[in-house]
Amino acid sequence: GLGGSNVKKIPHSVEYLDLFSFKVKVPMNFKMVNPTVTKIDSRTIRFIEAFKVIEIKF
């Protein structure tokens, strides 16, 4: 149906690859293969795939 579910904070770790890029590691059940990446604002990015959305604020 329409609408979303409750927000969940998931375990994660961040690996900084260089000054401008990073890799976020999450548990396998939250894995995304080819997500759509949307920049919400200068400090927020969303990764969207099927029914999963992971939002990162930095």
| CA distance between the termini of the chain | 31
By the 8 A CB rule, do 38 and 46 touch? yes
Q: What is the count of structural domains for the chain?
A: 1
Tokens describing residue 3: 């609408």
Range of the domain at 17: 13-57
Query: Looking at this protein, which amino acid is placed at residue 25?
Result: K
Task: Indicate whether 7 belongs to any domain.
Answer: no
List, for residues 7-54, the tens digit of each pLDDT value: 888 999 999 999 988 888 999 999 999 999 999 999 999 999 998 899
Query: Looking at this protein, which amino acid is placed at residue 21?
Result: S
0.85 exceeded by the pTM?
Answer: no
By the 8 A CB rule, do 27 and 10 touch? yes
47 secondary structure, DSSP code: E
pLDDT at 44: 94
pLDDT bucket at 1, cuts 50 / 70 / 90? very low
